């Protein structure tokens, strides 16, 4: 991948997880820095300017959320939160505080690699506004500039708000977006009485863009948090008479486990 030699800062108080991350990330060609506390992590972030930060929320001393807020005061470096299962409120707060994504412990290396790839893609593609490419995943094609959506070659007609919602998801493809982010960015709202809008419109959208709306392939629910649109297919040479459609499996080499959901 193009991320070799990227510098990763891990802020995590549990030694076994740090060791696991070090072994995996170094095997993938990343440079690795580690901190055991939030304070130490802030110092290293400032002095070494990592390309991506993996942050445990449950830290002794300075809390993970405060670490995010402080880092966000001066840099947009991607922050992936490492979170114990079942703490959805923590994840939402972290994402709303400026984290880019989260991994639920325990997580597999395939999942970690995928999240890192998305984070780094958003970094390297980031600041400059490029012309928007045509987004493709499976049979779904979204042309943001032309405002056209096709599913398996057939034109899909979206209402303006559905298109706005889909466009936001496309721009954040591969990343989780919270209900709160959607409300703010799509509806420009922070009103509590509109909190159900994302759920309703996602439901409508799925009926238009999913081959099987009851079992969404593209627009996934992140239970209790929000939604995640699948990453775009990796553009490549013309598919030719190959073995067929994208399998959705990471190209990072670890064929083994797809992460458990
Ligand atoms: Ca911890």
User: What's residue 124's pLDDT?
Assistant: 59
Q: In CATH, which superfamily holds the domain spanning 7-128+235-252?
A: Response regulator (3.40.50.2300)
User: What's residue 90's pLDDT?
Assistant: 84
Confidence of residue 237 (pLDDT cuts 50, 70, 90): low
State in Å: Cα 108 to ligand 1 middle. Answer: 18
Confidence of residue 83 (pLDDT cuts 50, 70, 90): confident
Q: Which of the following CATH numbers is that of domain 139-229: 1.10.10.10, 3.40.50.1980, 2.60.40.1180, 3.40.50.1370?
A: 1.10.10.10
**CATH 1.10.10.10 domain position(s) in the chain:** 139-229
Of 108, 87, 106, residue with least CA distance to 224: 87
**CATH 3.40.50.2300 domain position(s) in the chain:** 7-128+235-252
Q: How many angstroms separate the CA atoms of 110 and 114, rounded?
A: 6
Of 146, 122, 142, residue with least CA distance to 134: 142
State in Å: Cα 68 to ligand 1 middle. Answer: 15
State in Å: Cα 257 to ligand 1 middle. Answer: 25
pLDDT at 220 over 50: yes
Residue-wise pLDDT for 102-139, tens only, equals 998 888 989 998 899 888 886 655 444 455 679 999 99
Mean pLDDT computed over every residue of the chain: 84
Q: Is 226 left (phi over 0), alpha (psi -120 to 50) or beta?
A: left
Residue-wise pLDDT for 148-164, tens only, equals 999 999 999 999 999 99
Mean pLDDT, residues 188-196: 78
Who's near 239: CB < 8 A, 6+ residues apart?
A: none
Helix H or strand E segment including 166: helix 160-171
Q: Which residue has the higher pLDDT, 86 or 96?
A: 96
State in Å: Cα 39 to ligand 1 middle. Answer: 14
Neighbours of 134 (CB within 10 A): 15
Residue-wise pLDDT for 39-74, tens only, equals 999 999 999 999 999 999 989 999 999 999 999 999
User: What's residue 249's pLDDT?
Assistant: 40
Lowest mean pLDDT among 26-30, 82-86, 195-199: 82-86
Q: Which residue has the higher pLDDT, 157 or 196?
A: 157
CB under 5 Å of ion ligand 1: residues: 13, 56, 58
Q: At 245, list the tokens.
A: 């459609």
State in Å: Cα 36 to ligand 1 middle. Answer: 9
Q: At 227, list the tokens.
A: 């939604």
* Sheet strands side by side (includes 176-178): 176-178, 226-229, 219-222
User: What's residue 2's pLDDT?
Assistant: 45
State in Å: Cα 60 to ligand 1 middle. Answer: 7
Question: In angstroms, how far is CA 115 from the centroid of its own chain?
Answer: 6
90 with 104: CB under 8 angstroms?
no
User: What's residue 128's pLDDT?
Assistant: 43
Full DSSP string of 50-68: -SEEEEESS-SSS-HHHHH
User: What's residue 46's pLDDT?
Assistant: 94
How much of the chain is helix, strand and coil, in % rounded to 5?
35, 20, 45
DSSP secondary structure code for residue 127 in this structure = S
């Amino acid at each position: 991948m193009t991320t070799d030699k990227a510098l990763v800062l891990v802020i995590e108080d549990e030694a076994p997880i740090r060791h696991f991350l070090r072994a995996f990330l170094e095997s993938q060609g990343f440079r690795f820095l580690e901190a055991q506390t939030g304070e130490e992590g802030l110092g290293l972030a400032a002095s070494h300017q990592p390309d991506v930060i993996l942050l445990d929320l449950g830290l002794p001393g300075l809390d993970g959320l405060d670490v995010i807020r402080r880092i966000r005061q001066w840099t947009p470096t991607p922050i992936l939160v490492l979170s114990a299962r079942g703490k959805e409120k923590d994840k939402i707060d972290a994402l709303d505080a400026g984290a880019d994504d989260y991994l639920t412990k325990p997580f597999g290396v395939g999942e970690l690699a995928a999240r890192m790839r998305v984070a780094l893609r958003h970094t390297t593609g980031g600041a400059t506004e490029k012309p928007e490419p045509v987004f493709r995943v499976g049979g779904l094609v979204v042309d943001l500039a032309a405002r056209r959506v096709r599913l398996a070659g057939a034109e899909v007609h979206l209402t303006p708000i559905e298109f706005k919602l889909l466009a936001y998801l496309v721009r954040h493809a591969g990343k989780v977006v919270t209900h709160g982010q959607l409300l703010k960015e799509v509806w420009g709202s922070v009103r509590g009485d509109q909190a159900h809008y994302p759920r309703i419109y996602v439901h409508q959208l799925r009926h238009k863009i999913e081959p099987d709306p009851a079992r969404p392939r593209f627009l996934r629910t992140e239970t209790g948090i929000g939604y995640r649109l699948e990453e775009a297919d990796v553009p490549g040479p013309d598919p030719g008479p190959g073995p067929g459609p994208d399998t959705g499996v990471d190209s990072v080499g670890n064929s083994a486990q797809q992460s458990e959901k």
